[in-house]
Chain A
Amino acid sequence: MDYDSLGLMAGIEIHQQLDTREKLFCHCETRLRESSESNRKYFRYLRATESELGEIDRAAREEMKMERKFTYHAYDTTCLVEDDEEPPGPLNPEALSLCLTIAKVFGMTPIDQIHIMRKLVIDGSNTSGFQRTALVAVNGYLPSDGDIETICLEEEACQRIEGDNFSLDRLGIPLVEITTGPFMRTPDEVQATAAYLGMVLRSTGKVKRGLGTIRQDINISIKDGSRVEIKGVQELDLISEVVRREITRQVSLLQIRDELLRRGASVSSETKDVTSLLKGTKSEVLKRAERIIVVTLKGFGGLVGSEVQPGRRFGTELSDYAKKCGVGGIFHTDELPAYGVTEAEVLSIRNFCESEPSDCLVLVSGNKREVICAARQVIDRAEAALTCVPEETRKMLPLGNTSYMRPLPGAARMYPETDVIPVKIKSEEWGRIIIPELLDVKAQRFVTAYGLDPAIARQVVFSEYLPLFEAGIEEGIKPAILSRTITSTLKELRREGVLISNLTNSDIISVLRAVDIGKVGKEAVPDLLLAVAEGTVVDAAIEKSSSGLTKDDIRVIVRKVISEREEFIREKGMGSLGPVMGIVMKEVRGAVDGKIISEVLKEEITSFLSGAESP
């Protein structure tokens, strides 16, 4: 596709959870819990407040189509702040300093006085009905010349358990939101930018890891299309595909529009009740329905069934809108007869609605309230198809497709969080912030300074064990053994189900040091780490597995063995190495690294032989 002529413009909003000790506005730890560990539940209703202009935000209004009761699961690690039963505490200074650090990496300007805002969110994911967020810095830049518009510090929302059940453990974890300018022009550029931002965030060493801890929202528009925001893309590798498929969708919708206009298509605002007509239907869905009504899309025939994204049709778009009213989905005549609806039934509906073959009829089924709402949604969406691609917030589906979530929120949904005092950023404070070494740079340094293979170096710097590597180097452990431990030994142990999270960095370093000084063989490392992970004190584990012999002890043994076999060695020269090695190994009962014995042995035989030549 020629993205240039399509006029692709894309920007990213990246959300990253911070690995701070406490939450953003309370002293609870930032640990996620299993929902089965919840010790208390309660439920609430959320209501949008009417604004001064008498208008409820359109995104909020969308959520209000269904009055919903939200249930919250609390834990012994959550408090009244998450419950919205106590005012928030002051802004967490650790989170703010981390946010400022990231801002400084991008060369941004911090806001003089940071104001905490309440951003209206009434989908239930925040107990209060708003998310607390603050704009911390503006105007940064990327090496690619792209711009960063803003960086915000926000509180994370609840995790949805299922339906309208939410888990409070995640609520309040600090989150940075980085918003780029809409400077990206190709899908690959979007993905590369996201990867770079992710790398910078990781470079602080204080961000959460794992699925769901980083999410990207992508803003996309093409010249004749509309701005669409795709929420919650979690897999970095899928980003360019998501962008490509959104462009495909918009291009297809524009083609559908052009065809509809050519045909003079229109949407009838009148609906027909066909409940009695379908009394004897074999369709499971329709049989159960209290009510079935039909929306007539004049001249839409064939287009509703046409594909807009791989496996998704224009009909799927209509269905997404209808589902917001609680119905399971819709049927349309482009796909009928099917799903238990017979040809005869289709005909009788067509006759009843006096429709032309070029029309597409959409069947909406459910209870009375649902069908009225769903039919309205179908009509609105179909009417929009005649003019444009609607501005929407969409959510990511597996493999890179997206589905409709809600209209794009308007800007008018924030007001001040009066319970938190604004924070002044002093220039000394900003000056004191140290920019961390970026992981890209660090990886390069590991290659040149420690001779690591570039791929291994990348693995090490992006690993959660980077601090282990750096601490190990500091302690004088060889880079090779550290990187091998990180990129292979620990991974294997994890794969075998060993609880390697029980191992502290200092445990691991102790074990590696024991190898380094020859106290234990390197073959013993996995067993040692396993023993420590299972609760053995590290020194005891090393003692137990070691022969107790130092290199000097080994040298004594080696010299003894040599002196007992002087003749043999003088005769065989360096050829005696193998046989003598076997004897020494027997003496130390295999508790010493063979490599060390062979090394000592080589030295001693050499010195013995050279000494023997010149008496």
Chain B
Amino acid sequence: MNQTFESGDLIRCRWGGKDFSGVYVTERDGSIVVKLSNGYNIGIPLSVCSIEQKSEDTNIIVKTIEQDKSLPVLSIISTGGTIASRIDYRTGAVTSQFDAEDIVRTIPGLAGIAQYRARRLYNILSENMTPSIWQELAREIYDEIKDGTYGVIVTHGTDTLAYSASAVSFMLDSPVPIVFVGSQRSADRPSSDNVMNALCSAKACVSHLGEVAVVMHSGSSDDRCSIHRATRVRKMHTSRRDAFQTISGEPLGHIEYPSLEVSLNPHTQHRNSKELSLNDKMDKNCALLYFYPGMDPSVIKRYEDCHGLVIAGTGLGHVNSGLIREIGHFIGNGGEVVMTSQCLHGRVCDRVYDTGRDLLLSGVIEGEEMLPETALVKLMWVLGNANGHEEVRSLMQSNLKGEFRMRSFYGL
């Protein structure tokens, strides 16, 4: 059969001894998928169907959205995370919405908080993000702020959202809030966390907040969102709504739902406390290594072309003694090595055990309380901006964007 159908075509099929009409959806694993009039999709062989009527363009009825001119203007930049989507029940297709109007139409509550201008920078899966895109994103945000936006919302896939947020945090000093937001449960489902996360992020953007943050569900209930510092947040669950957590310490604040009341903690940086500036240089030639027992020293050798290595070591920041020599070589050849911990919670301290002391002797920089991923992003930024080993060490061990605290406190 040479017959080809296009999505939306009305086709006539015979199955189970009866004829029926349906809408052609797609082809899948050798079967064609047909949507029946009762709404179900079924997969049947192409040979039992023939065209009845080619697809016609359906008129999309779109109501125009009036934005309230008295409200502050927020910028929405999408990179691929779906904060709003629509379902075509005719074919079952789900499409993401990026246009400001479409987003506001899908999440009507947004209209009461601000006016929006939206731009789709990228439409990629968050695992396909790159440091170059982080830089582009930072420049885009910088332009928006220069254009007078009151706050920036970045919609982002959740997998690498924390990396991007932390990268933007190092590259930009901003007088206005920059809020990264995503959804853990797809935006097409009535139970999605997208609406509440979007409303809360918009609300955070018109608050006193003045730094780069991530706004996502605090718990499994739809009762509040947490505002996390970009450099301290980590995705800690594959699928739960409350996957994002501030590691060690308190979040920057919360937004209650549905009241949308914002409360900020005292350690939050406020709006207008920084002048706008962009420093977007980064050395992408860095890697993050997860140490494991028995790791062969040759693994380090394979990274010899890198300029910087972040190691997620065990406990206080350790690797096996066999690795230390190779690490020494790497540093001797001009590379930088930052030690972090797989424990995630707590501070690296390489002065307690011999292995640690040997690591320090070989020139490893203690990553303090930094999350391994944050340390990687920071190392890229530092290597892009610092001159010489001592400046790298000094910047890595300075708290630039709240990536670590000088004192650790009780509690996870």
Where the two chains meet, the residues of A that have a C-beta atom closer than 8 Å to any C-beta of B are 42-55, 57, 69, 80, 83-87, 108-109, 111-115, 117-120, 122, 127-130, 133-135, 137-139, 150, 152, 411-416, 418, 422, 424
Contacts and interface: CB of A to CB of B under 8 A. Distances in A.
A424 B220 CA distance: 35
A604 B258 CA distance: 90
Contacts of B187: 49
Given A122-B190, A128-B189, A128-B190, A424 B29 contact: yes
B42 A114 contact: yes
B239 A111 contact: no
Contacts of A55: 61
Nearest to A409: B39
A53 B40 CA distance: 19
B16 A139 contact: yes
11 contacts: A51-B87, A51-B89, A53-B60, A80-B239, A85-B239, A112-B42, A115-B40, A128-B191, A135-B36, A415-B188, A422-B43
Given A54-B63, A85-B241, A415-B88, 9 more contacts: A44-B191, A57-B89, A111-B43, A113-B29, A113-B43, A115-B41, A128-B191, A138-B18, A414-B40
Interface in B214-240: 219-223, 238-240
B92 to A, nearest CB: 4
Nearest to B48: A112
B331 to A, nearest CB: 43
Interface residues of B, number: 55
B283 to A, nearest CB: 37
Interface string B26-69: 00110101001111111111000000000000101111000000
Nearest to A152: B40
A119 B36 CA distance: 14
B225 to A, nearest CB: 13
Contacts of A138: 15-16, 18
A38 B105 CA distance: 38
Contacts of B92: 117, 414-416
Contacts of B45: 112
B191 A84 contact: yes
B106 to A, nearest CB: 6
A85 B191 CA distance: 10
B189 A86 contact: no
Given A129-B191, A415-B94, A112 B31 contact: yes
Given A112-B44, A137-B16, A414-B39, A52 B220 contact: no
Which of B37, B61, B185 gathers the greatest number of chain A CB atoms within 10 Å?
Answer: B185
Nearest to A109: B16
Contacts of A49: 85-87, 106, 187-190
B222 A52 contact: no
Going nearest first, the 9 A-B pairs with the smallest beta carbon separation are: A129-B190, A113-B43, A109-B16, A414-B39, A52-B88, A139-B16, A412-B89, A415-B92, A115-B41
Contacts of A120: 190
Contact of A117 (B40, B61, B88, B239): B40
Contacts of A119: 39
A500 B92 CA distance: 50
B39 A412 contact: yes
B38 A150 contact: yes
Contacts of A418: 94, 186
B17 interface: yes
Contacts of A87: 239
A43 B223 contact: yes
Contact of A422 (B28, B39, B106): B28
A113 B86 contact: no
Contacts of A117: 39-41, 92
A128 B241 CA distance: 13
Nearest to B45: A112
Contact of B60 (A47, A54, A129, A414): A54
